[in-house]
Each structure stands twice: as C-alpha cells, then as structure tokens.
Amino acid sequence: MEFRAYIIRRLVLLIPVLLGVTILIFGLLQLFSPVERAALYIRDPKQFADIGHVIEQYGLNQPIWVQYGRWMGEIIHGNLGWSRVVSQPVTSAMLSFFPATLELALFSAPLIIIGGIFLGSKAAAHKDKFIDHATRVGAIIGWSLPTFWLGLMLLMVFYGFFSGLFPPERLSTEMSILVHSAQFTRYTGLNTIDAILNANGPVLLDALRHLVLPIVTLTVVNLAFILRLMRSSMLEALGKGYILTARAKGLDENAVVNKHARRNALIPVLTVSGYLFASLVNGVVITETIFNYKGLGWWAWQSAVHLDAPSVLAFALFSGILFVITNLIVDLLYARIDPRVRLGEQVQ
Amino acid sequence: MKSKKMSKVCWLLLAVLLTAAMLLPACAGEEAVTTPTTPTTPTTPTTPTGSKNPDTFVYATIGPPDSLDPAYAYDTASGEIIQAVYETLIFYDGESTTSFVPMLATEWTVSADGKTYRFKIREGVKFQNGNDLTPEDVEYSFERGMVQDYGAGPQWMLFEPLFGVGVASSRTDEGLIPLDEIKSKVEVDGQWVQFNLAGPYEPFLQILANSWGSIVDKEWCIENGDWDGTEASYEALNDPPSGGSPLQAIMNGTGPFALERWEPSVETSLVRNDNYWQEPAKLERVIFKVVDEWTTRKLMLEAGDADYVDVPRAYIAELEGVEGLTVYKDLPQLQNDAFFFQFAISPESTFVGSGKLDGNGIPLDFFTDINVRKGIACAFDWDTFIKDAMLGEAQQIGSPIVEGLSYYDPNAPRYSLDLDKAAEYLQQAWGGEVWENGFTFTIAYNAGNLPRKTACEILQQNLFSINSKFKVLIQVMQWPTLLRGMYAAELPMFQIGWLADYPDAHNFIFPFMSSSGTFSGWQNYNNPDVDALIDAGISAATSAERESIYRQLDQLYFDDVPSFIIDQPVGRRYFRDWVEGWYFNPVLPSNLGYIYALSKD
C-alpha cells in the first residue's frame, strides 16, 4: 500500500509542476509584445497589412490571465490548440513527430548507456593502463565534437563520399511510398517496428540504414558523459572496504568488479541515464535537423523560434510529464538495485 | 558472469547492426543501387548514372505549405501545391505574365467599360472525386473565398476589384458585407459565369490566374463542412483562425495531380491524375520534402535523391562545376528590397538616442526634411551592395515597379552613389543643424539576413565618411522584434521587401506609396497627390493612361524619396540534368514552374 501511495503521490505532484511550468512559459511569452507574437501569423510581407486584425483575432492584446484562462479552458476540453509552425493541431503534431524521436532514442539510448557503463567499468578496472587512457581520451574527443560538425562530417562521408551509403531522412523515396501505401500498415509510426510487424525486410533494412548516422552521432557525443561518471563511480566503489574483503576472500577479480563494485557504482549512473533517455525522447534538435529526421526536438525548436505559444506550452506539458515519470522510474529502479532503499519509508 | 555475458551480447548486437547496415545498399533492391565514381575528397560531388526514381520528382524545399485551401493559402509553398492540384479559369501563357490560355474557361470577354468579365465554363471536366465541373462550382468558389476571408489572407485581391479600391476584407466598420452583395458580384448565366466589378481593374485576369482563383467542387466542399451558401454559415465560417478552414488538409481539384499525402512540415506527395481532362502528366508522382539544412539538400541533389533543391544565394559557389546539373541563371524575381524612412517616429522609440538634433540623437520628425532623405539615398552604394552582398545576383531599379511587371520602366529615375551630392543635401537639412551637430540613430536588420546587414554597413560607413558626426548604429533583431519596430513606428529606418501577388504595377506601387499602403502606411507617409494618382492608375480604362500615370508615380517616388529601392534580385534554378520541360515564369509560386510540364529523361 505504501508503495502504491508513493507512486500516486508522485503522480499527483505532476499537477503543480505542470501548472508552474505553463504559467512560467505563459509569463515569459507575455514579455513579447502582441505584434511580436502576431509575427507567427505573418509569413510574408504581403500579410503585414492585416496585422492589427490578427492581434485581435487571436486575442494577443488581452490581459495575460484572460489568455491563460482561455488556453486552460481549451485544455480541459481536450484541445491543445493549433501548431502554426507545422500547420496542424498540436495533438496531431505531437503524435506525428513523437515516433521519429522515440525510434531514435530507443536505438541510441541503449548504446550510449550500456556502452558507457561497459567502457567506464573497463577503464576503472584498468586504471592508468592503456585501456583506461584510450577510453578516456576517446570519450573526451567525442564529447568535444560539436554535434552539428560531427553530423555534417558523417553525412558528407557516408552519404556524399560513399554515394548514398547511409542517407539522411527516415526512409528512401521508394520505401516511403511503399510505407504510405495500402500494402503497408502503420501500427506505431516507428518504421523499424512497423516493418517487423508487416514482415517487410526491405523497409526494415532501409529504416535501419537511415538510422545509422543519427545514432552514431548521438552515441559519440553522449557516451563520454556516462563513461566518465561510471568510471569515477567505479573507482570509488573499488576503494571501499567490502571490495577489499571480497578480494581477501580470494574472490575472482571479474566477480569483484562485475558483481560487487559495478552494482554499487550504478546508482549515480542510473540517475543520469534516466535523464539522458528523457532528453533523447524529448528530442535532439541538431541531429534531427542535420539528418532531416524530423521529430519532437525539431518541432519544439521551430515553435520556440517563432513564439508559437500553443506548441511551446504543449511541449512543456509533455516534457514535464516525461521528466516526472522518468524520475519516478529511476527512483523505483533505485529500490531494485539497492535493497537499502525503501520507497515507502522515504515517503514517511 | 551474467553482466559480462550481457556486455558481450550488446557488443555483438552493435556489430551485427553496423555490419548489416554497411551491407544494405547491396541488398536493398536494384532501384537503390547507383554507380558512383571515385571522388577525391568527401565533398567532391558524385555522378550518378541516372535518376533513382524515374517517374517520381523529388523537390527538397525549405518552405512547408501553410494550408491546402486555395482561398486561404497566401504563401508560395502552399501555392505551388495548389496550382498542381486545382485549376483556374485561365492560366499564364508560357513565360508571359500578361497573356493567358484557357483552362477551366474556354473563352472570356471583357466589357468596353472594363467592369464586366464573362467566362464560358469548359464542359466535360471532372474533379478528382468524379464530380462534374459546373458553372455553379465556379460561382461558389469565388463567393466561398470571400465568405471565409480572414485577416492576412489573399481575398483582398478579389474584394478590391469587386467592391472598389479601399475595400480589402469582408469585415467593414459597419460589420460583415451582406451576403447578397457578395453573391451579386459573381453570377451564373447558363454556361457562363460573370464577374461584376466596381470599376475597371486591369490586373483582374492576372488575379484570377493565381492559386486564389482556383475552382473547388461545391458539393464536395459542403459535404466536408464548408460553407453551405447560407447567411448563418457565412457568419460561422467567416474569419477562420489558423487551420480553421474545412479544406485545410484535403484537396479535390481538376488538375493534373491529386493529393496523395500531406505530412505538414515533412513531406507532401502528389500523384498523377490519370483522368485529367488534358493529356495526363508525364510524372507519376511529385514529392515535396522539407529539408532545412543546406548541406543535406546539396548532398541529396548530388546523390540524385532530389531532382531540385532550394539553393540559398550564399551557397551558389558550392555548386559551381558540379556535374549532372542544369543551371538556369539571371532569372529576374518579382520582388524588391528597400530602405524606408519613418516620418513620425514613435515617442516610445529607443532607437533615436537623445531624441534631439544634438549629435547624440535625432528628433522624431527627423525624416520629414526631404534633404535628409535625399542625402541618405545619395550615400548608398548600389554597386558594392550588389557585388558583395548579392554576389552579383541583383539589379538596381529606380521605382518599386520591378522588371517583369506591367508598366515597368527600365529608365525610371534613380539615385546613385554621390557623396558630394549627399553632403550638399545634408548641409541644407534642418537649416544646417544636421551638418553642424551631426546625428545618431539606429537601423536594424533581421538576424541571418546578411545582405541587409551589408546594406546597413554601407550606409553607416558612407555617412560617417561624409561627416564624422553622422553616426548610424546597427542592431540585429529577431524577426518578431523587427516587425514590432516597424509596425509601431519605433525604427527610424527599416529594410523590408515585397513579393508580387500578381504581376502588375499597382501591386507594388500601393504598398510603397499609398497613405494606406502596407509599408508607406507604417511610415506615416502621406501625399494626397500620390494617393489620387494611385487610384487613377488602377481604375484607368486604357493601358496608355495607366502607363502615363505610373511614369508620374515613378517621378514622384524619386522626388519625394519616401523610401529607396536597394535591389531587385535575380535568381537561379538548379535541376538534375534529367529534368525536362521547365520554363521560367516569374509569377508562378513554385520554383518548379508549371509542374505539369515537367518530365524526367
């Protein structure tokens, strides 16, 4: 019961979090004048003549509480508004961009997290040896590379130089036509999953081929963070008394490292991994833009640049929910990894 | 042991994934295989042997369509989709912007007084859903557009000729224009449809030939919740918000292509209409992909994954010498860019320094002195601007009327760089106070617009070189902030450009010179003589009369200098060399021109 109460309380906490976030964003948007916010509706100088009417039509000159109340009223009726930057309802935009981002996160997050944990453990276990230096130097290089530069370089080499080996976008033109035809059912919007469900090998291969460069980019850039954290956490764990005891007992070194030290070193890494996964699901602007892999990050960025209030607010709601739930899951995993953590007791 | 095994499994999976991906091009089917040459560097273009998608045209664009509703859409990206799916009564004849060919009208007449236009509607044409085209559809299409008119939309182009200059919307101070009045403007007479204009309006045919003149299927529209012809529905559907039009995301035209799929901001796919009333298009499918990043677009063009891409001017050097491309150059665009003076700067402005002529600012009415305006115009260096900022891809013109429009005059009077003359004018300005004390004010440009930044710098340097007390500060602004600065009269000077709605002088003269024009209105520029001439120009019964009036307006623009034109850009088009059938008509919204005419070898 205590465990369930803990989860419910954490979820109830979502309400003030989301209210706070939306009020903050609404307030920030109001710092811009009605004309600046109306610019969203003006795509061409030809439309300037009616800007006064646009301001009135969308109530941009009304008091902030009136505008916020109107937005809340729509939310209560299940209407998140219209995303002007992508010319569709916000809900529909979210549903259409989410699968691309999720697919990218599902492929890259395990590589980053497992790769980071593995390499971090290895580096710590071989402190000051070649493997330690090599992984650290490699990680720092990867971390130092600007995402846009790395992405463009990979694209120029593996798409330009090797003539279309790993192309941008989510699918090739032929496969895109096939996927959107009556011969193919889109169950999830995740091309790889849908290809498997449709038992369509060529679409699966094509989708994987298009995923390679964005995944490599994300992995190279993000791996270092997990790796370094895991390494330092492992070094700390390896210096503890119980490790000395385990070694004194004559336990195999692999068992000492993998079973005793790594498990304890995982707790801080788990926290960071949770946020990393949430960040990836939240969208990765530069990677999505360079590889024309349009997902939530690209949409959120466009919305922010154009002061598209309904989109920005909806994205904030999504992010709030995502991070609160991720936090919750991380806390639940703590209890799983460390038996000393008792969630119910924490609540009390 | 368990975690070690897991690590091994993970690495194995990664290796399998990467290996599979490396091998995929060999297994992905014949159509994905190309025969690359061996490039010497990663950025060297490859030369595919042929188009990867022989019947499919792929356009990697930067602008996604806003709406698929022809009466709502007012952006070029929407217009190019609409013109491929819907059709108009008449269409531009090839490269001409003034002569027309019959489309959904087989013939037309214009009354002697220029107030009645009649069109005989083509028989035997079907919409893509199988419904027959009728004269009632034509009548409905135009009335529907006016009924559902909204702020910042294209319908002003129909209100003005049908209801008179000054009426730009269905919403007037007295409320909505009565439905009966709207219906009286477009009437069916047997197989003919008649437009009753408020007065002569020469560019009316040009307006009808654009996307907002598209014909929709009345029955299908009503089925989809659109205007049903009643007063109640008029009030309910008038002034829809963004996305509020029932035809926002669906299409059913008579054109050569039908909408297959629209993923807003991602991709639009059109498929050939095999029941088209003319010969079906040669292309089976046209796909518009929105690709924001230039390098990605360039690589797609080189790899043959795109047949046409948008190329920003700053990057044209990157495509020099690339094999496999057909490049069309020196294409005059129906647009211009200008520097505008604010005649009544807002007291709220933070861009005027001290607000006095003390050397540290300018008074709010600084630009009402014509010597200031002329002096600044003479200090601008067009040659340097066109060479450095526009990379030679522009020309100087004297008046807002750009080349390619009716009544364009290549000899219109214009200013040129003359620092002595600039000094002369500025010595006379404000009784010599300007020269004595100097001035300081801020001009701005929108972030990322390098030509506008360069234009600001040219002005800054040249004015400083005339008199070191002349200080122009330059500020970069995000677009919304710049828009507010212009709209609220806070910016002493601003730069902006105009893109043609229809290829007639009136479409450019009005926003630049009328006291109620888009830009001149913001500037608080008001010259009753100019206003009278603009009204006379659009309602003149003959072309000769109009010619004479626009020459007078050109002269007045030069004499009064409410603004000065910086340039008219010329453009380029980069196609893969297997694309055929393209021709240039500057008024067509799509860079692809008339998409029906395109084919791939």
Average pLDDT over residues B98-112: 96
Distance from CA of B68 to the nearest CA of A (A): 10
- Chain A partners of B238 at a C-beta cutoff of 8 Å? none
The per-residue pLDDT for B375 is 97
Instruction: Kindly report, residue by residue over A166-184, the tens digit of the pLDDT.
Output: 999 999 999 999 999 999 9
**Among B224, B254, B207, which Cα is nearest to B86's?**
B254
User: Which has more pLDDT, B15 or B555?
Assistant: B555
The pLDDT-based confidence of A324 (bands split at 50, 70, 90) is confident
The per-residue pLDDT for B270 is 98
Show Cβ contacts of residue B436 under 8 Å, excluding neighbours closer than 6 positions.
Answer: none
Closest residue in A to B488 (Cα) is A35
> Is A62 at the interface with chain B, CB within 8 A?
no
The pLDDT-based confidence of A249 (bands split at 50, 70, 90) is confident
Q: Which residue has the tokens 């897991």?
A: B6
Evaluate if residue A143 carries a pLDDT over 90: no
DSSP label of B360: S
> Is B479 at the interface with chain A, CB within 8 A?
yes
Average pLDDT over residues A141-150: 89
The pLDDT-based confidence of B22 (bands split at 50, 70, 90) is very low
Instruction: Kindly report, residue by residue over B53-88, the tens digit of the pLDDT.
Output: 889 999 999 988 989 999 999 988 999 999 999 999
Q: Which residue has the tokens 């008579």?
A: B254
3-class DSSP state of B372: helix
Evaluate if residue B31 carries a pLDDT over 70: no
Q: Residue B315 and residue B302: Cα distance in Å, rounded?
A: 14
Distance from CA of A298 to the nearest CA of B (A): 10
Instruction: Kindly report, residue by residue over B378-410, the tens digit of the pLDDT.
Output: 999 999 999 999 999 999 999 999 999 989 999
Average pLDDT over residues B217-226: 96
The per-residue pLDDT for A64 is 87
Evaluate if residue B25 carries a pLDDT over 70: no
Q: Read out DSSP for A25-69?
A: HHHHHTTS-HHHHHGGG--SGGGGGGHHHHHHHTTTTS-HHHHHH
> Is A72 at the interface with chain B, CB within 8 A?
no
Closest residue in B to A209 (Cα) is B21
Containing B290, the helix (H) or strand (E) segment is strand B285-290
- Chain B partners of A32 at a C-beta cutoff of 8 Å? 480-481
Cβ A26 vs Cβ A68: under 8 Å = yes
> Is A59 at the interface with chain B, CB within 8 A?
no
The per-residue pLDDT for B191 is 97
What is the torsional sign of CA A196, A199, A202, A203? Answer: negative
The per-residue pLDDT for A260 is 83
Distance from CA of A25 to the nearest CA of B (A): 17
- Chain A partners of B41 at a C-beta cutoff of 8 Å? 161
- Chain B partners of A182 at a C-beta cutoff of 8 Å? none
> Is A301 at the interface with chain B, CB within 8 A?
no
- Residues A174, B32: C-beta atoms closer than 8 Å: yes
Q: Give the total residue count for chain B.
A: 601
Q: How far is CA A53 from CA A36, A43, A47, B171, B193, in A?
A: 14, 15, 11, 10, 32
Q: List A residues 142-161 in contact with B (Cβ-Cβ < 8 A).
A: 152-153, 155-157, 159-161
Average pLDDT over residues A262-289: 86
Residue of B43, B211, B299, B508 to mutate for A, most A C-beta atoms under 10 A: B299
Greatest pairwise CA separation for chain B in angstroms? 96
Show Cβ contacts of residue B524 under 8 Å, excluding neighbours closer than 6 positions.
Answer: B342, B343, B344, B489
Q: Which candidate from B36, B53, B522 shows the least CB-CB separation from A174? A: B53
Lowest mean pLDDT, pick from A56-65, B179-188, B250-259: A56-65
Q: Residue B459 and residue B470: Cα distance in Å, rounded?
A: 10
Residue type at position A163: S
| Range A123-154 burial, b when 16+ CB lie within 10 A, else e | bbbeeeeeebeebbeebeebeebebbebbbeb
- Chain B partners of A44 at a C-beta cutoff of 8 Å? 74-76, 499
Q: Which candidate from B42, B53, B168 shows the least CB-CB separation from A157? A: B42
The pLDDT-based confidence of B48 (bands split at 50, 70, 90) is very low
Instruction: Kindly report, residue by residue over A117-139, the tens digit of the pLDDT.
Output: 999 999 998 989 999 999 989 88
The pLDDT-based confidence of A308 (bands split at 50, 70, 90) is confident
Closest residue in A to B41 (Cα) is A161
Containing B499, the helix (H) or strand (E) segment is strand B493-499
The per-residue pLDDT for A46 is 66
- Chain A partners of B497 at a C-beta cutoff of 8 Å? 45
Lowest mean pLDDT, pick from A46-50, B139-143, B459-463: A46-50
The per-residue pLDDT for A339 is 67
- Residues B518, A118: C-beta atoms closer than 8 Å: no
| Range B172-205 burial, b when 16+ CB lie within 10 A, else e | eeeebbebeebeebbebeeebbbbebbbbbbbbb
Cβ A297 vs Cβ A284: under 8 Å = yes
Q: Which candidate from A89, A110, A159 shows the least CB-CB separation from B299? A: A159
Averaged pLDDT score across all residues of chain B: 89
The pLDDT-based confidence of B18 (bands split at 50, 70, 90) is very low
DSSP label of A187: S
The backbone torsions φ and ψ at residue B154, rounded to the nearest 5 degrees and listed phi first, read -90, -5
The backbone torsions φ and ψ at residue B51, rounded to the nearest 5 degrees and listed phi first, read -65, 140
Helix/strand/coil percent split, chain B, to 5: 35, 20, 45
The per-residue pLDDT for B50 is 66
Evaluate if residue B27 carries a pLDDT over 60: no
The per-residue pLDDT for B227 is 95
Distance from CA of A15 to the nearest CA of B (A): 29
The backbone torsions φ and ψ at residue B224, rounded to the nearest 5 degrees and listed phi first, read -95, 20
- Residues B264, A258: C-beta atoms closer than 8 Å: no
Q: Which candidate from A58, A160, A205 shows the least CB-CB separation from B241? A: A58
Q: Residue B394 and residue B497: Cα distance in Å, rounded?
A: 13
Q: Residue B258 and residue B248: Cα distance in Å, rounded?
A: 15
- Chain B partners of A37 at a C-beta cutoff of 8 Å? 480
Residue of B266, B308, B512, B522 to mutate for A, most A C-beta atoms under 10 A: B266
The per-residue pLDDT for B20 is 42
Instruction: Kindly report, residue by residue over A192-231, the tens digit of the pLDDT.
Output: 999 999 999 999 999 999 999 999 999 998 998 899 999 9
Q: List A residues 20-49 in contact with B (Cβ-Cβ < 8 A).
A: 32-33, 35-49
The per-residue pLDDT for A345 is 52
Q: List A residues 92-131 in contact with B (Cβ-Cβ < 8 A).
A: 93, 96, 110-111, 114-115, 118
Q: Read out DSSP for B403-436?
A: TTSBT--TT-------HHHHHHHHHHGGGGHHHH
Average pLDDT over residues B496-524: 93
Closest residue in B to A59 (Cα) is B241
Average pLDDT over residues A65-88: 86
- Chain A partners of B67 at a C-beta cutoff of 8 Å? 87
- Residues A155, B3: C-beta atoms closer than 8 Å: no
- Chain B partners of A40 at a C-beta cutoff of 8 Å? 480
- Residues B46, A86: C-beta atoms closer than 8 Å: no
- Residues A173, B53: C-beta atoms closer than 8 Å: yes
Q: Which residue has the tokens 């602008």?
A: B63
> Is A212 at the interface with chain B, CB within 8 A?
yes
> Is B264 at the interface with chain A, CB within 8 A?
yes
> Is B26 at the interface with chain A, CB within 8 A?
no
Cα angle: B92, vertex B93, B95; to 5 degrees:
90
- Residues A45, B497: C-beta atoms closer than 8 Å: yes
What is the rounded end-to-end Cα distance, in angstroms, of chain B?
61
The pLDDT-based confidence of A282 (bands split at 50, 70, 90) is confident
Average pLDDT over residues B172-192: 94
Cβ A309 vs Cβ A37: under 8 Å = yes
Distance from CA of B467 to the nearest CA of A (A): 35
The pLDDT-based confidence of B36 (bands split at 50, 70, 90) is very low
- Residues A289, B293: C-beta atoms closer than 8 Å: yes
Distance from CA of B341 to the nearest CA of A (A): 17
Instruction: Kindly report, residue by residue over A23-33, the tens digit of the pLDDT.
Output: 888 888 888 88
This prediction has a pTM of 0.85
Greatest pairwise CA separation for chain A in angstroms? 84
Q: Residue A285 and residue A290: Cα distance in Å, rounded?
A: 9
> Is A171 at the interface with chain B, CB within 8 A?
no
The per-residue pLDDT for A77 is 83
> Is A289 at the interface with chain B, CB within 8 A?
yes
Helices (H), chain A: 2-12, 14-29, 34-38, 51-57, 64-76, 90-125, 130-144, 147-155, 173-179, 191-197, 201-238, 241-248, 253-255, 262-281, 285-290, 296-305, 309-337, 343-347
Q: Give the total residue count for chain A.
A: 348
> Is B28 at the interface with chain A, CB within 8 A?
yes
Average pLDDT over residues B131-138: 98
Q: Residue B395 and residue B385: Cα distance in Å, rounded?
A: 10
Lowest mean pLDDT, pick from A7-21, A87-101, B346-360: A7-21
- Residues B34, A84: C-beta atoms closer than 8 Å: no
A194's tokens: 């849908």
